[in-house]
A = this chain, B = another copy of it.
Amino acid sequence: MGEIIKGKPVADKIAEELAVEIEVLKGKGISPKLAIVRVGARPDDLAYEKGALTRCKKVGVEAEVHEFSQEITQAEFIAGVKKLNEDKNVHGILVFRPLPSHLDEKELKHVIAAEKDIDCLSPVNEGKLMEGDKTGLAPCTPTAVMEILKHYNVELQGKNVTVIGASMVVGKPAAILLLNENATVTICHIFTKDTAAMACQADVVVVGCGVPRLVKESWIAEGAVVVDVGINVDADGNMCGDVDFDKVVDKVAMITPVPGGVGAVTTSILAKNVVKACKLQNNL
């Protein structure tokens, strides 16, 4: 059976390092602060928010929630974000997505201050991501994938990596981050002819497509490393990933579980990005 590589040790390690950094910042009179913008009260936003607040509190990042009404207009919404852009005490802004359909995410992307944009909504941060410019803020979930691979000493340079899913939230940025580490990256998606074949040739498979247990044992090469970004609830009400874990686990060298894998690291990256943003804004 492959090694089940959990998120918790990775998150704990990051939290430990952050706590030290935050102490130093506080010694200089700077207190990193996150502003969460939530429109309405979707259960999954609330669940993530709870985790984020707990994590921030634990490491010493201040956090406040700005709940906007489900009926907010685009103009009011944008004004609310601009106010946070200008608030010198706020270093990071996280806006829960998807937004209600009457709000335009595209305007938000160009309004949010790049230096406070801790989940990489702004094209400025997306561009820096593409360039491998470390002064940018990379999106939390794909960065969590990278931190897990690093923590468990998974070599990437020259390795074949197949990414399944090409969303702007997971697949595309993950592919770029992996490419920036000199992996040979293949990106598969709904139009791919033979995703199984592409996955089979990979040393590392990163899956984030939102299809419960899509990735079967036959898709994975013996001894591969599998990172499962999916969080789904199956027909029986059980939480599961995008990988058929129970069968795949016997074949791999390492695999992340769901829950307790990538999801357990994401809020630590969020806190880490707030601290990074805070340091950038203070020229530290």
Contact = CB atoms under 8 A, between A and B. Distances in A.
A14 interface: no
Interface in A142-166: 157-160, 166
A131 B172 CA distance: 9
A176 B175 CA distance: 10
B186 A191 contact: no
Contact of A128 (B123, B129, B159, B182): B123
Given A127-B122, A127-B127, A130-B127, A184 B188 contact: yes
Given A127-B130, A131-B126, A186 B186 contact: yes
A160 B191 CA distance: 10
Contact of A130 (B106, B172, B192): B172
A130 B175 CA distance: 11
A91 B60 CA distance: 48
B126 A158 contact: no
A124 interface: yes
Copy count, this protein chain: 2
B187 A184 contact: yes
A176 B189 CA distance: 13
Contact of A160 (B124, B136, B193): B193
A92 to B, nearest CB: 18
A160 B160 CA distance: 15
Interface in A37-64: none
Interface in A101-137: 106, 122-131, 133, 136
A39 B170 CA distance: 40
Contacts of A179: 166, 172, 187
Interface of A: 106, 122-131, 133, 136, 157-160, 166, 168, 172, 176, 179, 182-189, 191-193, 198
5 contacts: A106-B133, A123-B125, A130-B130, A159-B193, A160-B193
